C-alpha cells in the first residue's frame, strides 16, 4: 500500500506542475516600446544639461521638453499594453490536460498488467540465492507424489481383461522376483495404467537385480518414472537417478532433458538453456524431448541473456516434419526411395564425421529394414572397434544389429513419456503359454487404444496403436483408431502425416 501511496503522490505532484505551467499567466518579454521610453528619458536629461550650459534658449528648451514628453507617454502606453500577462489558448490547454490524464491512467493500467508491486530489487546474487532455496526446498518424492495424486484425480478404470492380465503379471513377478523381463514389463505397464509409483518401484528392483550391469537407459527410465509420478517435478530422488545415468553415459538424451527441466523448475533458466541448446547442436538423437525443448528454448535464451538467439536448424540427423508430410503423399516405391536416400546420407556423414551410438544403431537397423543384412553386418563390425571402450553404447548398437527387424516402411518413433507396448513387450512373457501371451498383448494394445480415445495422445502413440492392431489382425479396429486419430490431431499436418504413414503401412488408410 505504501508503494501505491508514494506513486500516486508523485504522479499528482508532477501533474500539478504541468497544470500550473499551462493555466498561469506569463508576463510578456520586453518590447521596442520599453526601449523607446528609456531613450526619451535620456533625452530629457540631456535637454536639462544643454539648458544649464546655455546651449539653447528657455523657450526652445520648453518646446523640445513638451515634444519629448508627449512621445514618452505614447511609448509608455504601448509598453504597458505589451506587458499584459498572456495565457495558453483554452482548446490547447484542455487537449493537453486530457492527454496528461490518459498518459497517467494508462501507465497505472499497464503496471497493473505487467508490473509487480511490492517486489524488492533482485540482483544476480539474490536470484541465485532464491534458486538455491528452491532447489534445496523441493518436496521429497513421497510428498510430491501425494500432491500430484490430488491434482491428477482418479485414473480411468482399465478394461477388465487387461486388469486381470496385470494381476497375473504381478503375481508372476512376485513368484519369480529375479525375472528381469518380467520386471521390465511390469514397470512399463504399471505406468501405462497410471500406477506410477508402482512403475518406478519395479524399475528400481530391476536395476538392483542387474547391479553393475544396469545401463544408463535403466537409470534414466527410473528417473522418468519418478518424475511422472511426481506430477512432472524432478525431485531429488529422480535427480540422483538421472545423475547416475549421466555418469554412465554423459550423452544420455533423456537424462540431459530432465536435468535441464529441473534447472528451469528451480529458477535457473540460464543453465537449462545451456543444456538444451547443446542438445540441439551436438547431434543428440531426435526424440520426444525435442518438442518441448524447441517450444521453450527461445524463452530460456531470453532469460539467459541471449537476446538475438537463433534456434539451430535441423541437421539431417533424421526425417523432419516436412519429410514426414511429404512421405505421406508418396507412393510406396517413392517412399522407399526417400528412406534409402536418408539412410545413405546418414551413412556418408558417419563415414566422414563420425556420430553417436544412436546414429550407428539407426544406420544398422535402417539397413536391415531395407534388406541389406550384409552391409549392416559390416557396419556392425566397424562399430565394435569404435565403441570397444564404451560398453553401454556398444550394447545399444548390438541390439540394433541383432534385434528383430521392424516391418513398417516408416516406423513410428518412440512415444514420449508413457508409450504403449513396445516391440520388446510384444515378445515378452516368455513363461506364459501362447494363449496367455496373446491375451496379454491384446490387453496392452486395448489399454493403449482406450487411453488414446479417452485422453488423447501424441502422434507416435496413435501410429503405434494402429500398427499394433494391424499386427494382431484387427484391421477394422485399426481403421477406427485411424479415423479417431484424424479427428484428435486435426490441424497438425506433421502429426497427421506420421499417423497416415502408419495407416498406409497397416493397409487401413482411406
Q: What is the pLDDT of residues 117-168, one digit of tens each?
A: 665 666 667 767 777 887 888 899 999 999 888 877 777 777 787 788 888 8
SS3 at position 57: coil
Section 7-24 average pLDDT: 74
Q: Are 219 and 254 in contact (CB under 8 A)?
A: no
What residues are paired with 86 via a beta bridge?
A: 26
Residue at grid coordinates 504381478: 170
Using one digit for the tens of pLDDT, what is the confidence trace for 298-337?
A: 888 888 888 788 887 654 444 444 554 555 555 666 666 6
- % of the chain with per-residue pLDDT over 70: 76
Name the nearest CA neighbour of 338 among 368, 366, 312, 365. 366
Section 347-372 average pLDDT: 78
504 grid coordinates: 498406409
Helix, strand, coil shares of the chain as percentages rounded to 5? 70, 0, 25
- Residue 423: per-residue pLDDT: 38
> Which of the two residues, 151 and 265, has the higher pLDDT score?
265
- Residue 468: per-residue pLDDT: 74
Q: Give the helix ranges, DSSP H, for 83-123.
A: 90-114
Judged by phi (left if over 0) then psi (alpha if -120 to 50, else beta), residue 429 lies in left
Pairwise CA distance, residues 304 & 247, whole Å:
26
What single string gives the DSSP state of each residue in 392-457?
HHHHHHHHHHHSPPP-STTPPPPPSSS-S--HHHHT--TTS-HHHHHHHHHHHHHHHHHHHHHH--
- Residue 216: per-residue pLDDT: 93
Q: Give the number of C-alpha atoms closer than 13 A to the C-alpha of residue 93, restricted to the C-beta side.
A: 11
Name the nearest CA neighbour of 429 among 95, 103, 180. 180
Phi, psi for 307 (deg, rounded to 5): -75, -20
Residue at grid coordinates 553417436: 356
Using one digit for the tens of pLDDT, what is the confidence trace for 212-231?
A: 999 999 999 999 999 999 98
Rounded to 10 degrees, what is the CA torsion of 319, 324, 326, 327?
A: 100
Q: What is the mean pLDDT of the chain?
A: 76
SS3 at position 1: coil
- Residue 430: per-residue pLDDT: 42
86 has pLDDT over 80: no
Q: Are 481 and 452 in contact (CB under 8 A)?
A: yes
- Residue 152: per-residue pLDDT: 75
> Which of the two residues, 424 and 38, has the higher pLDDT score?
38
> Which of the two residues, 410 and 493, has the higher pLDDT score?
493
Task: For residue 184, give every residue at least 6 positions away whose Cβ sits within 8 Å of its Cβ, in sequence order, or none.
Answer: 203, 206, 424, 428
Section 192-201 average pLDDT: 88
Please classify residue 224 by burial: count the beta carbons closer than 10 Å to its beta carbon, then call 0-12 exposed, 13-18 middle and 19+ buried.
buried
Amino acid at each position: 500500500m505504501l508503494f501505491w501511496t508514494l506513486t500516486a503522490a508523485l504522479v499528482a505532484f508532477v501533474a500539478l506542475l504541468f497544470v500550473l505551467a499551462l493555466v498561469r499567466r506569463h508576463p510578456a518579454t520586453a518590447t521596442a516600446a520599453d526601449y523607446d521610453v528609456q531613450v526619451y528619458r535620456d533625452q530629457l536629461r540631456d535637454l536639462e544639461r544643454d539648458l544649464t550650459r546655455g546651449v539653447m534658449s528657455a523657450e526652445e528648451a520648453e518646446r523640445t521638453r513638451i515634444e519629448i514628453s508627449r512621445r514618452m507617454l505614447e511609448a509608455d502606453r504601448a509598453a504597458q499594453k505589451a506587458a499584459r500577462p498572456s495565457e495558453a489558448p483554452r482548446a490547447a490547454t484542455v487537449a493537453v490536460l486530457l492527454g496528461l490524464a490518459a498518459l497517467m491512467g494508462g501507465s497505472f493500467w499497464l503496471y497493473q498488467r505487467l508490473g509487480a508491486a511490492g517486489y524488492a530489487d533482485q540482483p544476480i546474487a539474490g536470484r541465485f540465492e532464491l534458486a538455491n532455496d528452491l532447489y534445496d526446498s523441493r518436496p521429497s518424492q513421497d510428498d510430491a507424489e501425494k500432491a500430484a495424486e490430488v491434482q491428477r484425480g482418479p485414473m480411468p478404470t482399465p478394461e477388465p481383461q487387461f486388469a486381470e492380465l496385470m494381476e497375473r503379471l504381478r503375481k508372476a513377478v512376485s513368484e519369480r522376483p529375479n525375472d528381469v523381463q518380467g520386471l521390465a514389463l511390469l514397470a512399463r505397464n504399471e505406468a501405462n495404467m497410471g500406477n506410477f509409483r508402482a512403475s518406478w518401484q519395479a524399475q528400481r528392483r530391476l536395476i538392483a537385480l542387474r547391479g553393475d550391469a544396469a545401463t544408463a537407459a535403466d537409470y534414466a527410465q527410473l528417473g522418468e518414472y519418478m518424475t511422472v509420478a511426481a506430477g512432472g517435478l524432478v525431485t531429488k530422488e529422480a535427480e540422483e537417478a538421472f545423475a547416475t545415468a549421466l555418469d554412465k553415459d554423459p550423452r544420455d538424451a533423456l537424462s540431459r532433458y530432465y536435468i535441464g527441466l529441473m534447472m528451469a523448475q528451480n529458477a535457473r533458466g540460464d543453465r537449462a538453456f545451456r543444456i538444451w541448446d547443446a542438445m540441439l547442436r551436438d547431434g543428440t538423437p531426435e526424440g520426444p524431448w525435442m518438442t518441448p525443448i524447441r517450444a521453450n528454448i527461445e524463452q530460456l535464451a531470453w532469460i539467459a541473456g541471449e537476446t538475438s538467439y537463433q534456434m539451430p536448424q535441423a541437421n539431417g540427423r533424421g526425417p523432419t516434419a516436412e519429410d514426414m508430410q511429404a512421405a505421406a503423399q508418396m507412393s510406396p516405391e517413392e517412399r522407399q526411395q526417400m528412406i534409402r536416400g536418408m539412410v545413405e546420407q546418414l551413412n556418408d556423414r558417419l563415414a566422414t564425421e563420425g556420430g553417436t551410438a544412436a546414429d550407428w544403431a539407426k544406420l544398422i537397423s535402417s539397413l536391415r529394414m531395407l534388406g541389406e543384412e550384409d552391409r549392416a553386418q559390416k557396419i556392425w563390425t566397424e562399430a565394435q572397434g569404435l565403441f570397444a571402450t564404451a560398453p553401454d553404447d556398444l550394447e545399444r548398437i548390438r541390439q540394433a544389429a541383432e534385434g528383430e527387424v521392424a516391418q513398417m516402411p516408416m516406423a513410428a518413433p518412440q512415444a514420449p513419456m508413457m508409450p504403449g507396448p513396445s516391440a520388446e513387450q510384444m515378445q515378452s512373457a516368455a513363461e506364459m503359454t501362447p494363449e496367455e501371451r496373446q491375451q496379454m498383448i491384446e490387453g496392452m494394445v486395448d489399454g493403449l487404444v482406450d487411453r488414446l480415445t479417452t485422453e488423447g495422445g501424441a502422434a507416435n502413440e496413435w501410429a503405434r496403436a494402429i500398427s499394433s492392431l494391424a499386427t494382431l489382425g484387427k484391421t477394422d479396429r485399426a481403421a477406427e483408431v485411424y479415423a479417431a486419430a484424424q479427428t484428435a490431431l486435426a490441424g497438425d499436418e506433421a502429426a497427421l502425416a506420421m499417423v497416415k504413414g502408419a495407416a498406409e503401412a497397416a493397409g487401413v488408410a482411406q
